[in-house]
Amino acid sequence: MASGMLSFDQVPPLAAPLRFFVTAPLFIALAGLLAVIDGPAILASRWTPAALAATHLLTVGFMLQVMLGALIQVLPVVAGAALARPLWVARVVHPAINLGALALAGGFLWSAPGWLHAAGTLLALALLVFVGAAGSALFRVPSTSPSIRGLKLSLVGLAVVGGSGLFMLLALAGGWSLPLLALADLHAAWGLAGWAGVLLAAVAYVVVPMFQLTPGYAARPAWGFPVFLFAVLLAWSAALAFDADWPARLGRLLLAAGGAAFAVQTLRLQAKRRRARPDTTFRYWQFGLYGALLALAMLAAGALVPALADDPRWTPAFGLVLLLGAFVPLIVGMLAKIVPFLLWLDLQNHGLVGKALPPMNKLLPEAPMQRQFQVFVAAAGLALLAVLLPDWLSRPAGVLLIAAAVWLAVNLLQAAWRHGRQLQQAPA
């Protein structure tokens, strides 16, 4: 290994994470398709069947899928914690999460207990296998960096959001009498802040400086941020359980303040980056970080002035800004770097060198990704405006969202195809 080749036995095979990245965009397209079919009804309330289905197509079908695929790759590189059998885990989790997300959306859409049961079984299988495999690798290594601490906490967050989700599915399918509204708030907060938010920060600590050539995240806040989010989530959950109004509102304010501090810090790091030209990842992250600030401002405003939520448009607008304005673009921005990097690494590991080894930006070129980004921004903007003018804009927003998602899938598939073509030139 003294040759300077970047090849190590801990890196999982490319096929393990790549399958998640290629199928995930189709769930954004399905959410767009629901908007086209259901039109204004999808934005009428957070609780309509179409809104619940679309929310879970985005959060489970897209976000969770990409995050699980990425973690298979990230754990050995960021934490030195390789899964024991990454390809086996991928082969079980990938179909289970895809079919589970489809069944979940179908179950919400048609209020069908059978579909909800199927979704619960498939998603429980996916999460048990993943949390078991990732947890046994991750909890063996010491927390020597803020990223490792964040990854461990996020896995706990995943167990909470998965467990609470499965519990609610059983309740819905079985017609149990439970305070579902409060449970849904808990489920959403643990999913978005405890799992997705903490994971995003833990991975950002590594990939933002690495791929965007920014300074590093200062150590002290980086250690503290995931723990702060977790502590606030726990206190806020207790406040909800005891029906304590003002502590629950204070919890939301603190979550908003913590998230905003992370977003502002990342924007400041990006302002000091050493890469002259803004690439697609940078643009997606700028968009996502400003979207996150808007969503967190709405969260804080809702905590200070609860009457805002009396307007039925408030919560769908908040959800759209948080998902299409923040989480989805931040994740797509990471994909735009991680996918070509993994393809390139795989080619190198197959012995391609010199001219036979194409640079990363030839595997996933900038130009089509930049145009895809513009369509995505138009889709997200139109979706937000559709909250104000649902009759006019919900269907066009859905069409644009489908276009952005399909284009993303095509770009990623083309990159995989270029990798395959190049691989044919590899020495035997």
Q: Rule CB under 8 A: is residue 355 a binding residue for another protein? A: no
In whole angstroms, what is the distance from residue 387 CA to residue 375 CA?
19
In whole angstroms, what is the distance from residue 34 CA to residue 51 CA?
9
Task: Please identify, among the stretches 180-188, 218-226, 230-238, 408-416, the one whose residues bind another protein according to the rule CB under 8 A.
Answer: 218-226
**What proportions of the chain, in percent to the nearest 5, are helix, strand and coil?**
80, 0, 20
Q: Rule CB under 8 A: is residue 341 a binding residue for another protein? A: yes
Q: Rule CB under 8 A: is residue 265 a binding residue for another protein? A: no
Among positions 123-152, residues that touch another protein (CB under 8 A) are: 144-145, 147
Site string for another protein, 76-105 (x = CB under 8 A): xxxxx-------------------------
Q: Which pair of structure tokens corresponds to residue 234?
A: 């726990």
Q: Rule CB under 8 A: is residue 211 a binding residue for another protein? A: yes
Contact 184, 190 (CB under 8 A): no
Closest CA to 385 of 9, 40, 53, 37: 40
Q: Rule CB under 8 A: is residue 10 a binding residue for another protein? A: yes
Q: Which of 135, 209, 368, 381 binds another protein (CB under 8 A)?
A: 209
Residue found under tokens 């803020």: 146
Q: Which of 6, 87, 241, 410 binds another protein (CB under 8 A)?
A: 6
> Whole-number minimum distance, CB 1 to another protein, in Å?
5
In whole angstroms, what is the distance from residue 377 CA to residue 403 CA?
11
Q: Which of 114, 132, 179, 216 binds another protein (CB under 8 A)?
A: 216
Q: Which of 40, 113, 163, 215 binds another protein (CB under 8 A)?
A: 215
Task: Please identify, among the stretches 202-210, 282-290, 315-323, 364-372, the one whose residues bind another protein according to the rule CB under 8 A.
Answer: 202-210
In whole angstroms, what is the distance from residue 403 CA to residue 380 CA?
12
Q: Rule CB under 8 A: is residue 9 a binding residue for another protein? A: yes
> Whole-number minimum distance, CB 56 to another protein, in Å?
33
Q: Rule CB under 8 A: is residue 361 a binding residue for another protein? A: no
Q: Which CB sits closer to another protein, 219 or 410? A: 219
Q: Rule CB under 8 A: is residue 388 a binding residue for another protein? A: no
Contact 105, 121 (CB under 8 A): no
SS3 246: helix
CA atoms within 13 A on the CB side of 304: 10
Q: Rule CB under 8 A: is residue 277 a binding residue for another protein? A: no
Task: Please identify, among the stretches 13-21, 205-213, 242-250, 395-403, the one whose residues bind another protein according to the rule CB under 8 A.
Answer: 205-213
Q: Which of 97, 123, 222, 382 binds another protein (CB under 8 A)?
A: 222
Q: Which CB sits closer to another protein, 8 or 392? A: 8
In whole angstroms, what is the distance from residue 18 CA to residue 366 CA?
20
In whole angstroms, what is the distance from residue 124 CA to residue 143 CA?
28
> Whole-number minimum distance, CB 218 to another protein, in Å?
5
The DSSP line for 290-357 is: HHHHHHHHHHHHHHH-GGGGGSTTHHHHHHHHHIIIIIHHHHHHHHHHHHHHHHHHHHHHTT--GGGS
Q: Which CB sits closer to another protein, 11 or 196? A: 11
Contact 264, 228 (CB under 8 A): no
Q: Which CB sits closer to another protein, 263 or 300? A: 263
* Backbone dihedral angles phi then psi of residue 225, each to the nearest 5 degrees: -60, -50
Q: Which of 36, 156, 171, 213 binds another protein (CB under 8 A)?
A: 213
CB neighbour class for 22 (10 Å; exposed up to 12, middle 13-18, buried from 19): middle
Q: Rule CB under 8 A: is residue 262 a binding residue for another protein? A: no
In whole angstroms, what is the distance from residue 216 CA to residue 273 CA?
10
> Whole-number minimum distance, CB 351 to another protein, in Å?
15
Task: Please identify, among the stretches 73-81, 234-242, 244-252, 398-406, the one whose residues bind another protein according to the rule CB under 8 A.
Answer: 73-81
Binding residues for another protein, rule: CB under 8 A, are 1-4, 6, 8-11, 76-80, 144-145, 147, 205-206, 209-211, 213, 215-220, 222, 274, 341, 345, 348
